Structure 1
């Protein structure tokens, strides 16, 4: 099978197009075809109405390219009505961009400076989430179009009218023309995973209550539960469907997803746990059954079938379990007999976190003691957006890097196009938007099909213009060529898209003014200049893209997590005051997640490690530390401080070794040596329960690191933009 980014041989196409499997593999629900037809109809309708009914050559191209900018170059998330509302909401922004482009075209330097500022601002705004990321390229095109000579502010009303017509028609078309099947909502995916988790926990509770079939049911449920958890992976979702915005709802959904996957991992641990002679087994079974019930209620609410889950239930169950556990003195009990109760307690605490996160999604009141990871729960939306922008306004942020490199490339290209007096110079900048990717390797891979397609399309256009054709035939051919060109990118690859888009441009400009074969020549020259600028900027400005920054940011996060482990144990065992480890780890976590989000948007081969499992290991360190510091008394474990220091050194050392391997771009080695056998004391009274809780956390962290290389993620192709 040919890669979507390659140029398939002509002999391969006819028979393959007749194959149903070919269509299903590339466009299973005909989404690309529907979108291509919708955009083609709106673009041609707006163009013909402005050009022939209103006789306005200034308005017509803005009606057509405005549709392409927001209909093809933009990836707007949501269902049809949500996409329509987004289009209407950004209409005033399109007016501002066209006005600035028109006014700044007074000089090359003014236009280039405006291109740099707006290019950076529009791209960097993508830190706010997929809705803004999807609009970035289209918004940039709406400034690029008017920022070239001739400087003519008098046509500004016509330009704005053309784009307004395009946006309104496109918004209507999104709702009434072939809207297509609705994507599976993220909440439904999360509900599947939470329901699977509830089933697993209920099966474990049955087993602990003496049902001999409980463990068999758990074994049968785990594969589907694992698949439901994996369905929440960002790599399994389109960019526009990931909960990645700066708002509290998406923050809470993303956190709930990570919590669900973590609890599913702990459920697997319980399958292998030895429950013989476990202390507090009946109380643990009751806690786990209540935990399963709360998870089931959370899944029902996610499907819209119940009330918002309440943390009081799970909090009450946790309090009762602690009280029942504290009623017995574990002095003299072997430490391993206390482990199962601590595992059940950790599952209850994580489920309480899950319910809290869903209450944030629902905007329901929270308990007064909710702090730490849920700092955003009561913050207003503008504050959260400003916080996201501010924390990424650093050269270490992948969003900052990407915005700066694209802004620099667009500004340089605009300046060169003006100084070289290139006709139709906006093609230079349009090529930048197509070719320049987040890494130098991706930019090089996009270069060959872009240039090849442009040359082939330009030759076909030159032949068409040399031999001449009745303008009426241009108008007839435009919808067909545009439809095929719009569909060619997602289905056939960038080479085909570039070739057909070149023909589209020829057919458009041939209807606006007399032209000849030099138009095709200008297209090739402009694309070559844009490709050269894109390649050079891509080589010198953060050439590794998201992959390079992901290695560094993840290594920093794991290193900070090691510090959290050391500081938490020191605080609990010897009353050492908490330091800055937790705040630092939270900051590094946010940067690592941003790097991972960008990495997911790039095209990669099979990754050498499971990035999501790596981030979850760090999250477990941070969230677990917060729970232990909140619920365990400090200074009560001083008699075993030396043993805890040895255990902590082992776990933190593994985190640091994994971080160093990732920083060096090596595959972390899974340690073969087991946890140190330290001979834990049995004479601490009820403090043995807290020691067991702490040990379960440390053992879980050690186990998390074994999964870093367990399931590398395959990255699928990135959708091919049309330019």
Structure 2
């Protein structure tokens, strides 16, 4: 019954029913969780059954800890998990009340399931805590919406919820609590501290540039969400999470740009670059200290001032006798790194301090700074109210499957019909192939578990003491092995647990095991049908569509940005259009990120070919376009000479054309041919236009490199550098 959202492999043989290999940490975590859930469940269940003789109350005291402690992947430490359960209690009580009254008719309960399922899955997009409690909240409605229709038992149900949730909170908080994991704040702070040390060592000439570059790139890769535990990722819709996520993205760019500079910084060729580097090292140390809570956030103003001073004095020294191109390219890369440092400082100030306006920074980049939390939730949900969103697709798939399962269970009057919905809920996956793999394993596990449960019920008969003695060890084994062993072990062991529990609530026979098989297979079949009919490819097809939409949305931004720099003014009539295009590109970038996040949880295709699109490079391309649109310098009122402007337009046409071709993901990749700068143009352009021309050159080459990496193995960059 576990592994919701966990990648499952294909073609798992029925003969390999041993627990899947797992890390020692994963097994230890499952064992701690099993102890907490078992204690929370039996402390309420045993008195309710054997002392109070309250079967409804007992059922809820048993299943609420299982729902919140085991079925729901609650993120964070023990204290945070306890707080999540506490905040979810009002919603759980409302869903139990709704389900109790809608149980009067099958059609009403099914429509309620459709509504509840869609709202919960869509609303879960506001953050990891909401995502974690969704399965438990769904189970609260599922338990209540099945016959018998008994509004008079609502008090017992809510009392069982209160007792079960209270015991769950206490156990999560006090009994073998989950240890604190390294926070994302700490990871970002560590990356900034590494950058500070690297810059200072390079300026002193005491470090090897290539080794330093590799350390910086490795630190940047560690900031990917795929390298961070799910509960530690700042994926919420609130301002703090948005700011911390933005700080992570910007820190990764900063580290990558420093890595490109590291081999060239052992002896900086110009004093302005050395001065800016020292200032960036200090800013990194101050920002890291703010993330660790040892000082107030410094804000972006200091780095902005350093950038303005650097932009005013950088350029070609009059005594330089060699080709100035290499120097200008280093300066442009350093300026891009400093711009990323501005974003880091501003985002950290928002993530660690009070909300405040960010004057001088692009409004679109920090649009969330002054928005209220309810508005940010509405924006996040509105982003996903489109058939092109994987969140919307998951909501439709889950809600329709649960509603159909409730309709079938009610129409056929299946005994213990809520197991139908539980089977569909826990075995459903985002791809048809993964669902089929899980269903096959679960069917075998349920069959074996039902045979064992039937044998137990026949041999023990109505000896309640036997079932009471077996419940605790069975729960400990099932809840320890099931989460790490796979669907077969999970379903088989859970069948034994529910059989020993129900045998204490009311007299049962071996037919309970038979009903378990029928219900789980029915729910599995419904989940499989929904998986085949509703977006069976999961996020894979949507990732392709959202990446293509992102490429098409960013193409016009590239042209407007370069035209702005070449003409020395904003392109006529494009300001409003650019703002609209920016918002559209940002929306597609967020949608593509959601698709990529789900794609990381899905198994690869059975016969996946090597190579293919690099989705992360495509997302980096979109991010680089947006950053360049905000920050690429330009000299107001200063137009470039005709040959420089012609080169810029031709190079822009090439990159824009490649971006639009990339949206079709050609099998042979994308080739980008960027001509070199016109001969002698760097000696004829005055400062600061000569620096801005090289800024554009570096930016376009970086975009070309992202495109060719994103689209496939047949790509290459000709005439440029990476």
**TM-score, scaled to structure 1:** 0.90
User: Which residue does 2:4 correspond to in 1?
Assistant: none
Partner-residue secondary structure (3-state), 1:339: helix
Structure 2 residue 659 is the aligned partner of structure 1 residue 655 = yes
Q: What is the CA distance between 1:326 and its match in structure 2?
A: 7.0
CA distance in 2, matches of 1:696, 1:165: 63
Distance 1:632 1:143, change over 3 A: farther
Change (3 A) 1:634 1:562: farther
Following TM superposition, by how much is the alpha carbon of 1:103 offset from its aligned partner in structure 2, in angstroms?
Answer: 0.3
What does 1:257-656 align with in structure 2 at a 5 Å threshold? Answer: 257-272=248-263, 281-325=270-314, 334-364=324-354, 365-370=356-361, 371-469=363-461, 470-574=463-567, 575=569, 576-577=571-572, 578=574, 579-580=577-578, 581-604=581-604, 608-628=612-632, 632-633=635-636, 636-637=639-640, 639=642, 640-656=644-660
Change (3 A) 1:547 1:622: same
Does the aligned pair in 2 maintain the 1:26–1:491 contact within 8 Å? no
* Distance verdict in 2 for CA 1:670–1:275, change over 3 Å: farther
Greater CA drift, 36-45 or 302-311: 302-311
Unaligned runs of 5+ in 1: 17-21, 712-723
Q: Decide whether aligned partners of structure 1 residues 310 and 430 sit closer, same or farther in structure 2, where only a CA change above 3 A counts.
A: same
Q: Secondary structure at the match of 2:515?
A: helix
Match of 1:254 in 2: 245
- Mapped to 2, the partners of 1:429 and 1:287 lie a distance apart of 61
Cα displacement string for residues 353-372 of structure 1 (whole angstroms, at most 9, x for unaligned residues): 11011011023434312222
Q: 1:96-120: per-residue Cα shift (whole Å, max 9, x none)?
A: 0100111000000000000000010
* CA positional deviation for 1:336: 4.1
C-alpha spacing 1:107/1:171, structure 2 compared with 1 (3 Å) = same
Q: Could you report, residue by residue, the CA deviation over 1:573-621 in whole angstroms, capped at 9, with x for unpaired residues?
A: 2442333432221121111111122223333378855433321221011
Conserved? CA contact 2:478–2:493, under 8 Å: yes
- The Cα of 1:310 is off from its aligned counterpart by 2.8
For the 8 Å contact 2:273–2:310, the answer to whether it is kept is yes
Indicate conservation of the 8 Å contact 1:277/1:337, yes or no.
Answer: no
Inter-partner Cα distance in structure 2 for 1:638 and 1:386: 48
1:58 aligns with 2:46: no
Aligned to 2:694: 692
Displacement of 1:174 in angstroms is 0.9
Distance in 2 between the 1:229 and 1:331 partners? 34
1:240 to partner: Cα distance: 2.2
Distance 1:710 1:194, change over 3 A: farther
Q: Match of 1:704? A: 706
Moved more, 140-149 or 258-267: 258-267
Equivalent-residue separation in structure 1 for 2:521 and 2:291 (angstroms): 51
Q: Deviations over 1:158-196 (max 9, x none)?
A: 011001101011101111101142111111111122222
TM-aligned CA distance change 1:272 to 1:529, over 3 Å: same
Q: How does 1:69-108 map to 2 (within 5 A)?
A: 69-108=67-106
Q: Distance in 2 between matches of 1:48 and 1:74?
A: 23
Partner of 2:173: 175
What is the distance in 2 between the residues matched to 1:612 and 1:197?
23
Task: Give the Cα separation in 2 of the matches to 1:678 and 1:694.
Answer: 11
Aligned pair partner of 1:243 in 228, 234, 248: 234
Q: 1:3 to 1:337 in 2, by over 3 A?
A: closer
Q: Is the 8 A contact 1:252 1:361 kept in 2?
A: yes
Q: What is the deviation of 1:654? A: 3.1
* Further displaced range: 607-616 or 521-530: 607-616
Distance 1:366 1:12 in 2: 57
**Is the alpha carbon distance of 1:130 and 1:602 closer, same or farther for their aligned partners in structure 2, counting shifts above 3 Å?**
farther
Distance 1:360 1:253 in 2: 8
Of 479-488 and 154-163, deviating more is 479-488
CA RMSD of aligned residues (A): 2.7
Unaligned 5+ residue runs, structure 2?
1-6, 714-722
CA contact (8 A) 2:61 2:161 kept: yes
SS in 2 for 1:264: helix
Q: Is the partner of 2:333 in helix, strand or coil?
A: helix
Secondary structure, aligned partner of 2:385: coil
Count of matched residue pairs? 687
Do 1:436 and 1:538's aligned partners in 2 also have CA atoms closer than 8 Å?
A: yes
Aligned to 2:115: 117
Q: Which residue in the other structure is 2:210 paired with?
A: 219
Change (3 A) 1:79 1:302: same
Contact 1:115 1:407 in 2 (8 A): yes
On the 8 A contact 1:443/1:538 being kept in 2, the answer is yes
Contact 1:50 1:162 in 2 (8 A): no
Could you give the per-residue CA deviations for residues 480-527 of structure 1, whole angstroms, max 9, x where no partner exists? Answer: 111111112232111111001001111111111111111111111111
Closer, same or farther: CA 558–161 of 1 in aligned 2, 3 Å: same
Quick one: distance in 2 between partners of 1:219 and 1:277? 16
Q: 1:19 aligns to what? A: none
- What's the CA shift string for 1:72-98, capped at 9, x where partnerless? 111122221111111111111111010
**Counterpart contact for 2:247–2:347, Cα < 8 Å:** yes
